[in-house]
Homo-oligomer: A and B are copies of this chain.
Amino acid sequence: MCLYAKAKLSTRGGLAFLLFVNHTKDLNKKVSVSAQEMELENMKKYNIAVVGATGMVGRTFLKVLEEINLPVENYYLMASARSAGKTIKFMGKDYVIEELTEQSFDKDIDIALFSAGGSTSEKFSPIAASKGVVVIDNSSAWRMDPKVPLVVPEVNPEDIKWHNGIIANPNCSTIQAMVALRPLQLAYGISRIIYSTYQAVSGAGMGGYSDLENGIKGEAPKKFNHPIFNNCLPQIDVFLDNGYTKEEMKMVNETKKILGDDSLRITATTVRVPVFDCHSESINVELKKPFDVEELKKVLADAPGLVLQDDPANAVYPMAITAKGKNETFVGRIRRDESIENGVNLWVVADNIRKGAATNAVQIAQKLIEMWENGEVTR
């Protein structure tokens, strides 16, 4: 693999490599680099498979791939037998969905974006990896595997380097928190985090969406245990023996892994609210060092992938309806928590299907390609 990578690189010479990031933010502090400026035509083109292309997240994968111009030769869209044979419009072309089988990765595929659930990933990710494909998996199957990096590209891109064929995409509620917390960790250190979440129904897939839509019309829920319309459900995923839900423990454990600090003290209460898209989070943070609130805001404003929306006088703060369709994470309501030394409260919102799933996975692919191209990771 290493020799092959070197051979590839030698054909690329010293070409300046710029990756296109789709910045939708209105603040122009981060300059957009247009696809036209990329030297795409000179680059090696990669083959990418999208596994689970017909699901809610899978379809957003395709949307984000259309927006983020990766150097791709061929796309392969795959799904279960049930969806195989269907045609999907993608990149201006008609794609026929292929059935996912053990032979699917026998062809020349560089990256497979998996969004097909835990059991499919458990079976097919190792098969793909064994054939030289790098799987970027959106399920929870591999996230806590010590041999699998768990990556938010703005936060811990260096973890991509030690992948063994599988890179895990974190849980939606964790990803957006990481984008807001990493800059604070770097600037001040973090000792304790208390999460309370306000999570959208789209996190539960099409069924969650339908439950809210039908609940408005007075119909009973099918996906959730209780009605979600006109209600808050303090349960996301199943309960564990310690009284926490799986979602809550995901936030606790994934945060430690991504921020690379097992000594972090974390607790979480995760709640489903009657909102279609975008998760909101109330985060209470105990920092290690003293801070000035205005300086801390500047740290957040300058952080990658993060947009500061914090102008109370004009009722400007992050909201689900304004975060929808965006690839960034939004932070506001920043206030000193006087109840503890070095305490701060944050309100963090992101589109859970985009930055919380599809965008983050595609950005991992983008970063991986960048690392292949500049030799940081061997192909």
Contact = CB atoms under 8 A, between A and B. Distances in A.
Contacts of A192: 339-340
Contacts of A196: 196, 269, 282, 284
Among A194, A232, A244, the most chain B Cβ lie within 10 Å of the Cβ of A232
Contacts of A293: 243
Contact of A198 (B225, B273, B332): B273
Given A198-B273, A239-B313, A274-B273, A340 B265 contact: yes
| Number of identical monomers bound together in the oligomeric complex | 2
B275 A230 contact: yes
Interface in A310-369: 312-313, 315, 317-321, 332-340, 343, 345, 347
B315 A226 contact: yes
A126 B282 CA distance: 40
Contacts of A321: 226-227, 230-231
Contact of A226 (B232, B271, B319): B319
A234 interface: yes
Contact of A243 (B315, B333, B339): B333
B280 A347 contact: no
Interface in A230-276: 230-235, 239, 242-244, 265-267, 269, 271, 273-276
Given A196-B196, A231-B320, A235-B317, A243 B312 contact: yes
Given A269-B282, A275-B274, A198 B333 contact: no
B198 A338 contact: no
A216 interface: yes
Among A192, A233, A271, A282, the most chain B Cβ lie within 10 Å of the Cβ of A282
B337 A267 contact: yes
A269 B233 contact: no
A267 B338 contact: yes
A253 B36 CA distance: 57
Contacts of A284: 194, 196, 267, 269, 284
Interface in A161-204: 192-194, 196, 198
A198 to B, nearest CB: 5
Contacts of A266: 339
Contacts of A216: 216
A335 B243 contact: yes
A316 to B, nearest CB: 10
Among A227, A234, A235, the most chain B Cβ lie within 10 Å of the Cβ of A234
A339 B273 contact: no
A335 B244 contact: yes
A354 to B, nearest CB: 16
Given A192-B340, A243-B333, A274-B275, A345 B231 contact: no
Interface of A: 192-194, 196, 198, 216, 225-227, 230-235, 239, 242-244, 265-267, 269, 271, 273-277, 280, 282, 284, 293, 312-313, 315, 317-321, 332-340, 343, 345, 347
29 contacts: A192-B340, A194-B337, A196-B284, A198-B198, A198-B271, A226-B315, A230-B321, A231-B320, A232-B273, A232-B320, A233-B319, A234-B280, A234-B282, A234-B317, A234-B332, A235-B315, A242-B335, A242-B336, A265-B340, A266-B339, A267-B337, A267-B340, A267-B343, A269-B282, A273-B273, A274-B274, A274-B275, A282-B282, A284-B284
List 6 A-B pairs, minimum CB-CB distance, nearest first: A196-B196, A265-B339, A243-B335, A239-B312, A196-B282, A225-B315
